[in-house]
Amino acid sequence: MSVPTSQFEETGVPRVPVGDGIEAVFDWVNENLGAFFDLVSDAVSGATETLADVLNAPTPLILVVLFAALAWLVKNWKFGVVSFIGLAFIISVDQWENAMTTLALVLVATVIALVIAVPLGLAAARSDSVSNAVRPVMDLMQTMPAFVWLVPMVTLFSIGVGPGVVATIIFALPPGVRLTELGIRQVDAEVVEAGHAFGSSPGQILRGIQLPLALPTIMAGVNQVIMLALSMAVIAGLVGAGGLGGAVTSSISQLDIGLGFEAGLSVVALAIYLDRTTAAVGGGAATRARRISGALGRILGRSGTTAAPVPAGSRT
Amino acid sequence: MPMIQSHEIFKIFGNKPERGVERLRSGATRDDLRKDGLTPAVMDASFDVGEGEIFVVMGLSGSGKSTLIRMVNGLLMPTAGSMSVAGEDITRLRGKDLRRVRREKVSMVFQHFALLPHRTVGENAAYGLKVQGLNRSEREKKADVALQLVGLEGWGGSLPGELSGGMRQRVGLARALAAETDVMLMDEAFSALDPLIRREMQDQLVDLQHQLGKTILFITHDLNEAMRLGDRIAMMRDGRIVQIGTTEQILNDPANDYVAQFVQDVDRTRVLTASAIMEAPVALLGSEQGPRAAHRLLRENQLSSLMVVGRDKTLHGIVHEHEVAEAVQQGTDDLDGVLRSATTVRLDTTLSDLISAAAESPAALAVVDEHGKLRGVVPRVTLLNALGDPTTVVEHVGPEQKVMA
Ligand SMILES: Nc1ncnc2c1ncn2[C@@H]1O[C@H](COP(=O)(O)OP(=O)(O)O)[C@@H](O)[C@H]1O
Ligand SMILES: [Mg+2]
């Protein structure tokens, strides 16, 4: 490849053929690993479509009532009512099927993203060199404009749900890694030391001390992963992933303002529902787990671990 | 054999720390190594802790105490030297074997308690037992016993967040006791507590130690705490142990100016005890002896009173000179009429309490052990001497004269 001298003369900086290089890499990958990517594409789109079918099977209103009940359970009755109104709105603008398709895509992408992100975050928390290697990659994944991921995805997976899910995973992954690492690193070093001092193995310390204490932070990461996945899932409509994104895309191509807003507001309703529910689950995870296990204990006739009651009025 | 044996232990932080050890041995200073990016935290530390002893390591912040105590259970591996605890050579153990020693031989109490906030007090106290693999009912039973020992009976179901600082550290103590190890390591365990709570915890620790006979390595930066707790104290400065000795040895015979300066502000009346200053009685009267024998002993030794003891040294009382003289004149044959009760103190009574006791009685104080046996006496002069600073130079005015001590 010859260096175009005109550019060098104008700016004093030679033209570096980054674009050509990356294209060559993707072409090579596509030619040699095409079969593998087809497999991945089939698997994720199969999972997404199955889940979408399941979500679309019952009468929409029944599902809305179930979702609203869940919102009530994790937060309070007010949020249950708000959820009901928001989700019923999606039915009323005739976007329910699209919304469930998008939800399916978000859930599949989130689960896969977390399966990758949490172990990676744990490894990064454990070793500074892993952390240093992972950080720039995460920065690149997150700050690259979302659209840019779509093009190579299409070359690798062709049009459809597959590239939509994979692009969504890439875009949504980083906060899962970051907040897992942060959560684990934030755990009081003295408590971890106590684990070692009483002879716990690294696995016991991870399960009994680090993960439970990092859980609120990790759940904040899960919340962010879900929200990023939702925003990317809409953009993925451009590559034929369907759902609300598909409706938005066709509203743009048809200059259909009404459809655009109906789909857009449905995204907003879904976003609010997902955000508040996961935030409520994350924020109260530890206390709720205690409350539930305490209640179970009482039902089974034991109070907590030790049988003795707390002496009344002696707390300081 | 000692429970903890530290032999020429070094810990240097930094890259390739081994090179620092050789340099230190051949005379390099701490600052020399600092210039090369090495931090010598502990240098050439040797000490033994006997079974059932409370051994205190005392030094200012940054002197290497935490680093030293962490090498005892292998949380940190020494750069050089050997460390053994309960007969196990910690420096040779790794992974599984090291964890076994930590589960079975040596437990730890932390400065900021280090409890699991999402677990109940009972579960926290049982933490070591869970790691040991005990089943639930055994864990609960032993944790309850430990909580009872530290005075937290009935709190097992609470969360640590619902407890005050002092109570939380009791949970930390209960967790270490429940593990039933012979050795307990305590790194500034009471430093985060209010002074009054701290005193209470110190007393409780001493009680527990008497009751259970644990070997305790206790770290503190507070000299008063060191002297209240320690059977022996190691004074640390800038990574080195500069003196090891009992409270009395360190107070009365500081190894260098650094230690001397450190101890000059100590409230001697609160750290020195009767056992440190008491003297052997010049003369004693057997309880079967009569007033005549007493009179002779008093005169021969120029005493004004005499302790009366049985054959097994049990203290019976005291007789005073003027009453003995009267009894002799009246020709009485036994001591019944002249035997008075002696003012007694215990071996661990502090100087400040000795002063109150001395105010009640003009005669010497009798120091007795828990079985009521006479172990020594504290005459007033001795008490006054002990109160003063041994290094003070006293000037005398007037003709040279021998003073009877
Ligand atoms: N992990 C570490 N890495 C580097 N230096 C350390 C580390 N831990 C302690 N040090 C240094 O070792 C010295 C002794 O620290 P430490 O043992 O914590 O003292 P203390 O407990 O007496 O306050 C300090 O200068 C400290 O900065
Ligand atoms: Mg320290």
A276-A222-A85 Cα angle (round to 5) = 20
Q: How far is CA A259 from CA A61, A87, A246, A267, B368, in A?
A: 22, 17, 11, 12, 98
Percent of chain B with pLDDT over 90: 32
Co-location of B228 and B353 in the same domain: no
Cβ–Cβ gap B140/A188 under 8 Å: no
Among A6-20, A270-284, B71-85, B249-263, where is mean pLDDT lowest?
Answer: A6-20
Q: Which among B213, B246, B266 is the end of a domain?
A: B266
Cβ–Cβ gap A305/B120 under 8 Å: yes
B17 in contact with ligand 1, CB cutoff 6 A: no
| Beta-strand runs (E) in B228-352 | 232-237, 240-245, 284-286, 305-309, 315-320, 344-346
Would you state the pLDDT for residue B198?
Answer: 84
B13 in contact with ligand 1, CB cutoff 6 A: yes
Is residue B272 scored above 80 in pLDDT? Answer: no
Boundaries of domain holding B61: 4-105+181-266
What is the domain-level CATH number for residue B34? Answer: 3.40.50.300
Would you state the pLDDT for residue A310?
Answer: 37
Would you state the pLDDT for residue A209?
Answer: 92
Instruction: Give B75-116 pLDDT, tens digit per residue.
Output: 999 999 999 998 889 888 888 899 999 999 999 999 999 999
Calculate how close chain B gets to A122, using CA atoms only, in Å: 20
Would you state the pLDDT for residue B390?
Answer: 56
Co-location of B240 and B382 in the same domain: no
Co-location of B262 and B281 in the same domain: no
The residue with greater pLDDT, B279 or A286, is: B279
Would you state the pLDDT for residue A77?
Answer: 87
Is residue B187 scored above 90 in pLDDT? Answer: yes
Q: Which among B247, B266, B285 is the end of a domain?
A: B266
SS3 B108: strand
Neighbours of B242 (CB within 10 A): 17
What is the domain-level CATH number for residue B350? Answer: 3.10.580.10
Winning range, highest mean pLDDT, from A282-286, B271-275, B324-328: B324-328
Is residue A52 scored above 50 in pLDDT? Answer: yes
Would you state the pLDDT for residue B171?
Answer: 94
Would you state the pLDDT for residue B234?
Answer: 93
Is residue A3 scored above 60 in pLDDT? Answer: no
Number of domains forming the structure of chain B:
2
Q: From the list B100, B118, B153, which residue is nearest A286 (CB)?
A: B118
Close Cβ partners of A193 (under 8 Å, ≥ 6 residues apart): B75, B110, B114
Is residue A312 scored above 60 in pLDDT? Answer: no
- CA count, 13 A, side-chain hemisphere, B115: 30
Q: Which among B220, B243, B266 is the end of a domain?
A: B266
Q: From the list A198, A308, A316, which residue is nearest B127 (CB)?
A: A198
- What number is the average pLDDT over the span A228-252? 85
pTM above 0.90, yes or no: no
Co-location of B306 and B243 in the same domain: no
Close Cβ partners of A236 (under 8 Å, ≥ 6 residues apart): A105, A150, A163, A164, A165, A167, A168, A245
Is residue B230 scored above 80 in pLDDT? Answer: yes
d(CA B261, CA B273): 21
CATH class belonging to A33-307: mainly alpha
The residue with greater pLDDT, A231 or A149, is: A231
Cβ–Cβ gap A188/B118 under 8 Å: no
Residue B87 within a domain: yes
Co-location of B214 and B332 in the same domain: no
Place of tokens 């692009």: A167
Instruction: Give B54-74 pLDDT, tens digit per residue.
Output: 999 998 888 999 999 999 999
Residue B167 within a domain: no
φ, ψ of residue B179 to 5 degrees: the values are -65, -15
The residue with greater pLDDT, A240 or A290, is: A240
Would you state the pLDDT for residue A284?
Answer: 63
Would you state the pLDDT for residue A6?
Answer: 64
Among A130-139, A296-305, B13-22, B393-402, where is mean pLDDT lowest?
Answer: A296-305
Which residue type is seen at B18? E
**All structural domains of chain A with their residue ranges:** 33-307
Q: Whose CA is nearest to atom 7 of ligand 1?
A: B13
Q: How far is CA A163 from CA A45, A94, A167, B137, in A?
A: 9, 26, 6, 54
Residues of A in contact with B85 (CB under 8 A): none
Q: Whose CA is nearest to atom 18 of ligand 1?
A: B66
Which residue type is seen at A63? L
Residue B403 within a domain: no
Co-location of B85 and B185 in the same domain: yes
Winning range, highest mean pLDDT, from A19-28, A141-150, B75-84: B75-84
Co-location of B210 and B348 in the same domain: no
Co-location of B219 and B293 in the same domain: no
Interface of A with B (CB under 8 A): 188, 190-191, 193-194, 196-201, 204, 208-209, 212-213, 286, 289-290, 303-311, 315-316
Co-location of B93 and B11 in the same domain: yes
Average pLDDT, chain A: 82
| The two structure tokens encoding residue B235 | 């004074």
Instruction: Give B24-43 pLDDT, tens digit per residue.
Output: 888 888 888 888 888 899 99
Residue B218 within a domain: yes
Residue of A nearest to B129 (CA): A198
Q: Whose CA is nearest to atom 20 of ligand 1?
A: B62
Q: How confident is the model at residue A205 (pLDDT cuts 50, 70, 90)?
A: very high
Co-location of B84 and B30 in the same domain: yes
Tell which phi-psi region holds residue A227, choosing left (phi > 0), alpha (psi between -120 and 50) or beta. Answer: alpha
B39 in contact with ligand 1, CB cutoff 6 A: yes
The residue with greater pLDDT, B47 or B224, is: B47
d(CA A70, CA A75): 8
Residue B316 within a domain: yes
Residue B156 within a domain: no
Percent of chain A with pLDDT over 70: 87
- What number is the average pLDDT over the span A244-250? 87
Is residue B311 scored above 80 in pLDDT? Answer: yes
Residue B73 within a domain: yes
d(CA B376, CA B359): 19
Calculate how close chain A gets to B122, using CA atoms only, in Å: 6
Residue B81 within a domain: yes
Q: How confident is the model at residue B396 (pLDDT cuts 50, 70, 90)?
A: low
Co-location of B88 and B201 in the same domain: yes
Co-location of B192 and B283 in the same domain: no
| The two structure tokens encoding residue B215 | 């070997």
Would you state the pLDDT for residue A316?
Answer: 36
